[in-house]
Amino acid sequence: MATENGKLEINGISVGKVKVLNKATVLPSKKLGKKETFLTTFDLPYVTFYYNQKVLLYKAQAHDFKQIVEKLKEALGVVLGEFWPLAGRLGKDEEGVLRIEFSDETVHGDGGKYGVEAVEAAAVDVELADLVQNEASPLLQEVVPYTGVMNLEGLHRPLLAVQFTKVKDGIVIGCAFNHAVLDGNATWHFMSSWAEIARGAPTISVPPFHDRAKARNTRVKLDLPESAEAHEKATESQDPSDGGEPKPAPRLREKIFPFSEKAVDRIKSQVNGNVASNGCKPFSTFQSLGVHLWRAISRARNLKAEDYTVSAVFMDCRKRVDPPMPDSYCGNLIQAIFTVTVAGMLQASGAEYGAGLLQKVIEEHDRQAIEKRSLEWEAAPKLFKYKDAGINSVAIGSSPRFKIYEVDFGFGKAERVKSGSNNKFDGMIYLYQGKDEGKSIDVEVTLEAEAMENLEKDQEFLMENISV
């Protein structure tokens, strides 16, 4: 199944509810000349991940759609003058090292090689209520671009694609960012800056920091797969018992579990219940919620006591590298860190056991550990695969610290913010700021269908009966 800008196809047959009205290219509104920057050790492993998809759903008057879109496209052109890599393409230098390239010079065809793809679409029978629900709707694949598009395609297509979809009672903004170019922190910096311009600011308040060499000045040549299909075929699991045929893909479900500020506080309080008597360092909100999720998903999977389970965390390294990088660093500055235990120990030892494992691996990932990991990868470059998250994995990305509901383009804060279906596998979790803001957190979980059903019934996980 593939989705290309509002066109959902199954077996080559269009089944979508979204109609594309217009497609255009948005370029930076000011001349930038020729620019380039190489991809660093922190960027390159993500070439075989997929475009990072974000969906923002806003209340708006349908008759204002054309005016809103023109305003958003104009603001997009302005902000691309600062975030120029998103207007570029991937390319290779004379040594075969991947880089981001941009030039004001146009080439044959649609007016230029560079720029952002901007699509206008309409879904006359769709309401925001169809999309904001906790369970992921297939409709999401129609309102966000580049489902199933691997980052290496940035050699041939835009590094950012945006789709503006008019629905009955609002507008949906679906964005697809090339994940080899920037991480979540930089993504939301861009989004807030774009919204700032759309609200009428003459300039953005925090310019992006583009000097990637300051973070890692090492050039690494990669052997790229011929295509996304070739990479996926090479990574399909083979089961000798069935003659070496690929295993069928599991049926996955995606769902958001909202945790109120009171629930988050209670989880943290429970995990820290024995800290004083054990002489341990208090566990953070992230560590407390992380072990709450790890234990619940292990229960939902009905793991045996002796089964291994891995926690993987995609961690921001901006303040951990030497020298530290600013929050405005525009690129990837994340590394995945791992810890493993057996399911029986995780469940029987109390939440503080798993939280202690998370705390230890997070605290140990300092500048020396980052340097060691970087040198090891540079000596033997490896492109990421989902199975690298580990056996029975619970992998956590994004952050509730990102102020996603402050992305106000001038018509109020979003009704809901979600991910698209890219980069989701069994056990992948994205944490988002809850719409209630404060300390509320939306936990976006992808699991095999049977495990998801078990998770939905787990009262200990849901924290529904919370006493003050």
Residue 179 is among the residues annotated as catalytic for this protein: yes
**179, 189, 210, 292: which is the annotated catalytic residue?**
179
Between CA 268 and CA 355 the distance in angstroms is: 10
184-198 vs 65-80: helix crossing angle, rounded to 10? 120
| Residue 294 · residue 429 · CB < 8 Å | no
| Positive or negative torsion for Cα 298, 299, 302, 305 | positive
Cβ count within 10 A of residue 294: 28
DSSP state of 92: E
**Hey, is 122 helix, strand or coil?**
strand
**Three-state secondary structure string covering 383-444:** CCCHHHHCCCCEEEEECCCCCHHHCCCCCCCCCEEEECCCCCCCCEEEEEECCCCCCCEEEE
**130, 388, 408, 458: which is the annotated catalytic residue?**
408
CA 122 to each of CA 23, 62, 72, 132: distance values in angstroms, whole numbers, following the listed order: 12, 10, 16, 17
Between CA 380 and CA 66 the distance in angstroms is: 50
Residue 169 is among the residues annotated as catalytic for this protein: no
Residue 396 C-beta-side C-alpha neighbours within 13 Å: 25
Query: Which tokens sit at 366?
Result: 């300092």
Please, what's the b/e burial string for 436-460 (b: 16 or more CB within 10 A of its CB; e: otherwise)?
eeebbbbbbbbbbeebbebbeeeee
Which residues have a catalytic role annotated?
Answer: 179, 408
